[in-house]
A and B are shown apart, each in its own frame.
Chain A
Amino acid sequence: MNVNGQRVHPEDPTARLLDFLRDDLDLRAAKEGCGMGECGSCTVLVDGRTVCSCLVLVGQIADSDIVTAEALERSDPPGRPGLTDRLRAELVDHHAPQCGFCIPGLIVSAHAVLTEHLSPTDEQICCGLEGNLCRCTGYRSFVRAIQAVGR
């Protein structure tokens, strides 16, 4: 398995990907908010797809490429370098993070929306973020920030 470009060798195939990232690799951007795939705080990219890392065992994805919020720029699409940096900057400038606990998962989903759609609509953004709960913001600041990246 590759995590953020590093070859890693999990000892326990039955470990949850979230625990492996946080406890074995000290990558603690992905958070646990519910442990059952409802809140999306643990979202990471597995072979380019958004996945709740609390629902995946490392043995299920032994040959996969994992990207977490810490190294999201590794997933910037060819021809769109700097997408992650722009997304981060727009989130900051739009005052999107409040407590920030949801952001490391949410930004992975936002990145996926922007990878799929050059200039996503309100509806496309809201569908893309539907699996990421945020209790602070009401999501509108995320929509504004993502649309600013898309412009």
Chain B
Amino acid sequence: MTRAPAPLATTVQERSALIVGQSLPADDAWPIVTGALEFVTDRRVDGMLHAAIAHATVPHALIQSIDVTAARAVPGVVAVLLGGDVPVNALGDDDGDGPVIVDTVVRQLGDPIALVAAVDEATAQAAAAAVTAAYLPLPIVDSARSALEPGAPQLHDKGNVAGHLAFASGDVDAAIRGAYLTVERHVRTPVQEHVALETPGGIAMPDGVGVTVWCGSQFPGVHRRKIARALNIDIADVRLISNPVGGAFGSRNDDPMPVYLAVLAWATRRPVHLKMSREDVMLIGQKRHPFDITTRTGFSSDGRIVASDMTALVDTGPYTTSGPNVLKTSAELSVGPYRMPMARFDGTVVYTNNANGGAFRGYGVPQSAFAIETAMTQAAADLGIDPVELRLMNILRGGDEHALYRHHVTTSLRAAETLQAAAEHAWWRDRAAWRAAATGPWLRGTGIALAMKGVGLGSGKGDTSRARLIVSREGVVQIWAGPNHTGQSIDSSYRQVAADTLGIPMDRIRMTVGDSQLVPEAGSTSSSRSMYAGGEVVRRACVELLDRIETSTGTRVVDPSTCRALIDSGDAEILAEFRLPDSDLGMIPPGQLVTFAPHLVFGCSAQVARLEVNRYTGELHVCGIVCAIDCGTAINPAGVIGQAEGGVTQGLGYAVMEEHLIAGGRPLTKSLETYAIPTSRDVPPIETILVDGSEPTGPMGAKGMSEVVVVPTAPAIAAAVLDAAGVLPDRIPITPERMMRWMSGEQEAIA
């Protein structure tokens, strides 16, 4: 059964309550629960072909030849495409971006060496398996450190360094020499796989002079440019329809799947369907970058931070993807939400033959935050100061100078209030009783951590969202807006903003996202920007509508008669734009804002974890997480809570379970059998607290929050492990094996 849409009101109704701030179901919730919603990979078109990818069978090699004779001879095969069949065989301007289809150098096991199209899926797969290549093996670069060694095999023309970012806002060495306490840490974070449940795929078809692609994308503009480049056609001739899609979390940012689909449809002049297997995604899908971080944090005797110094080595695998950009957000949040006189960051991203890194919810912040937050935890223990007090005495407040770049952050930052909200929860207040009630082999502990994360792509990038709006003679408002929807029901939240701005019920507003033919270029569904950037541009379009109605009719009422007046005056279509505000420069040299891309607006989350550790087996049992959030106005509180619970669960997986393993360029975790993510039995009760606040530049005071909720979970769990077992983890995931090693003294205990 589906609920019929509410009948269209013929007169404007007075509304008693604001719609913003109400918890409302997603617009497509009913099609989802009835099984009716058609995801991009569910789509079928008459006469479509099925495709498969032929993968390289070695991690690093020169390709001497590729033999497609057997593949082309399989009955039912329509096309076997090699690199030379792609008009411009490149995913970007730079060699480091890699080709669409690998034709000269294999840089990771599973690199696509051919795309096959056939009459059915089994035939396509059989033909892909029949593609063979002669390889001249190259030595394998199996770690970030070995990539930098003299004489290391070089993966790209420019060498093995994909990016480097360094900044200092003072003489950090001198400050740390003068510190009362210096906490030094060396932490390592794992490769995390997104496990978006719908594997990459979709359908593409030739469309006049261009191509139409149905495929998940978090950045339709970039994907369209990649397709246009590969096919050597105009971007205007690439239509990308990017939802409904089964999850994203960053995975649909760097994913080349839309390009594969377009190339297949272009070459065969037929509709083509392709969906990667889970094993393919585990092999070549982009993943969270692993970081190797050394950090020194200096404190005065009364607990004030005098300086932070962080060095990060990042493995982006064979191709650049988001690597250097991830480093920017890592650098910015290497100082956490804290004030200090000066800081330094030095980060290097390198190429290896390991898993390809890419965008992943949090975008480099979970890694640097694990370092700085566990340093705060250790400092609190060393100084004998309560961990909440220590953080509060150093807390960054709205309008303060950022510790690294010295630019000013938004006045809406409520890090202190967010931390206090988490600390007021019973699970933090009652931590002594929780610890004391430990029985048998189970030790008990409680930990707390804090994080913030920028909203939007960062200053200097020209980050802009756009929307288009028209009205009908019946008084219905149709809006096409972005960013698009990858599972966070952003379109429903846009309607809430529009309804309150226009003063009309939601059922008079139609919202379309995710079709590049209809929605103007609105930027990415990433960097916690959708609610902020998309919500604000929808609000602006609606304000412009009211202004025009007022000019035309003298009222600010949206009803059939005023809409008709607007249409008759030829003024009923609106294009709105929101250029996200840049921060000031701080100490960043003029002209280099985009190099560091600092943020003005930040969301914030503080989390408390309570857990048990088995002293004999090292097992960890996380018993509860408190998640306090500073997101400004919560437009749709149930949506925010849903994002929070999902984010905490991904953070929990990152902290205690998830690690994609690779040895000698060959993955060990090849499927969901060996790569485990949290199930319903792994997730403890999660208590979400929405902290009051309002962002002056956001729609109705809203700002983004969906990434930052992933960040504090791992350091909060690490702090709880310290409380329970007296050892502070220096790497994640905190597996039973690692716990046993730490508890047996292989890592120095600090408490």
Chain A positions within 8 Å of B, measured between CB atoms, are: 22, 26, 28-36, 38-39, 41, 68-70, 73, 85, 87-88, 91-95, 97-104, 107, 125-127, 129-143
Contacts and interface: CB of A to CB of B under 8 A. Distances in A.
Contacts of B614: none
Contacts of A33: 197-199, 246, 278
Contact of A135 (B196, B489, B638, B639): B196
Contact of A101 (B26, B246, B648): B246
A135 B673 contact: no
Given A126-B681, A139-B683, A91 B33 contact: yes
Contact of B683 (A31, A68, A88, A140): A140
Contact of B639 (A22, A36, A95): A95
A140 B682 CA distance: 11
Interface in B633-681: 638-639, 641-642, 645-646, 648-650, 671-673, 677-681
Interface stretch (B35-43, B69-77, B108-116, B430-438): B35-43
B451 to A, nearest CB: 18
A132 B195 CA distance: 13
Contact of A88 (B1, B44, B646, B650): B1
B278 A136 contact: no
B680 A34 contact: no
Nearest to A33: B197
Contacts of A140: 645, 683, 685-686
14 contacts: A29-B34, A31-B39, A39-B278, A88-B33, A88-B34, A91-B33, A99-B247, A99-B248, A101-B198, A104-B35, A133-B677, A135-B194, A135-B646, A136-B487
Interface string B607-634: 0000000000000000000000000000
A50 B246 CA distance: 22
A23 to B, nearest CB: 9
B660 to A, nearest CB: 15
Contact of B489 (A29, A98, A131, A142): A98
A137 B642 contact: yes
A33 to B, nearest CB: 4
A38 B671 contact: yes
A69 B35 contact: yes
A73 to B, nearest CB: 8
Interface string B13-53: 00000000001011011101111111100101000000000
Given A137-B642, A140-B686, A100 B681 contact: no
Contacts of A69: 34-35
The 4 A-B residue pairs whose C-beta atoms are closest, nearest first, are A29-B35, A99-B487, A101-B246, A100-B32
B669 to A, nearest CB: 12
Interface in B471-522: 486-489
Contact of A97 (B32, B645, B650): B32
B642 A99 contact: no
A134 B197 contact: yes
Given A98-B247, A138-B648, 12 more contacts: A38-B672, A88-B33, A99-B196, A99-B486, A101-B198, A103-B33, A129-B680, A135-B194, A135-B196, A135-B677, A137-B645, A138-B646
Interface of B: 1, 23, 25-26, 28-30, 32-39, 42, 44, 194-199, 244-249, 275, 277-278, 486-489, 638-639, 641-642, 645-646, 648-650, 671-673, 677-681, 683, 685-686
A28 B198 contact: no
Contacts of B680: 125-127, 129-130, 132, 139, 142-143
Contacts of B28: 97, 100
A29 to B, nearest CB: 3
Contacts of A73: 1
Contact of A31 (B23, B246, B639): B246
Nearest to A145: B33
Contact of B197 (A39, A70, A93): A39
Given A31-B198, A97-B33, A100-B28, A135 B650 contact: yes
A36 B195 contact: no
For A34, A94, A132, A140, the residue with the greatest tally of chain B CB atoms inside 10 Å of its CB is: A140
Nearest to A95: B638
Contacts of B197: 31, 33, 39, 41, 99, 101-102, 133-135
Contact of B673 (A38, A130, A139): A38
B649 A139 contact: yes
Contacts of A127: 680-681
Contact of A85 (B1, B199, B678): B1
A103 B673 CA distance: 21
Contacts of A35: 277-278
Contact of B487 (A68, A70, A100, A104): A100
A103 B686 CA distance: 21
A126 to B, nearest CB: 4
Nearest to A128: B680
Nearest to B248: A99
Nearest to A142: B680
B125 to A, nearest CB: 12
B644 to A, nearest CB: 8
A30 B246 CA distance: 13
Contacts of B683: 138-140
Contacts of B671: 34, 36, 38
A97 B27 CA distance: 10
Nearest to B685: A140
A138 B686 contact: yes
For A30, A31, A68, A131, the residue with the greatest tally of chain B CB atoms inside 10 Å of its CB is: A31
A98 B27 CA distance: 10
For B25, B639, B686, the residue with the greatest tally of chain A CB atoms inside 10 Å of its CB is: B25
Contacts of B249: 135
A137 B672 contact: no
A66 B553 CA distance: 60
B1 A28 contact: no
Nearest to A98: B487
A99 B198 contact: yes
Contact of A133 (B42, B195, B638): B195
A74 B572 CA distance: 48
Contacts of A99: 196-198, 244-248, 486-487
Contacts of A141: 642, 645
Nearest to B647: A138
A95 B642 CA distance: 7
Given A38-B672, A98-B489, A101-B247, A138 B645 contact: yes
Contact of A70 (B34, B649, B678): B34
Contacts of A94: 638
B33 A107 contact: yes
Contact of A36 (B34, B37, B39, B672): B672
Contacts of B34: 29, 69-70, 88
Nearest to A99: B487
A29 B244 contact: no
Nearest to B33: A88
A32 B42 CA distance: 10
B649 A95 contact: no
A90 to B, nearest CB: 9
B29 A97 contact: yes
Given A33-B278, A85-B1, A127-B681, A98 B646 contact: yes
Contacts of A87: 33
Given A99-B247, A101-B246, A125-B680, A137 B30 contact: no
Nearest to B25: A92
Nearest to B627: A138
A94 B97 CA distance: 42
Contacts of B685: 140
Contacts of A31: 39, 42, 197-198, 246
Contacts of A29: 34-36
Nearest to B671: A36
A28 B638 CA distance: 28
For A22, A29, A41, A100, the residue with the greatest tally of chain B CB atoms inside 10 Å of its CB is: A100
Contacts of A107: 33, 35
B642 A136 contact: yes
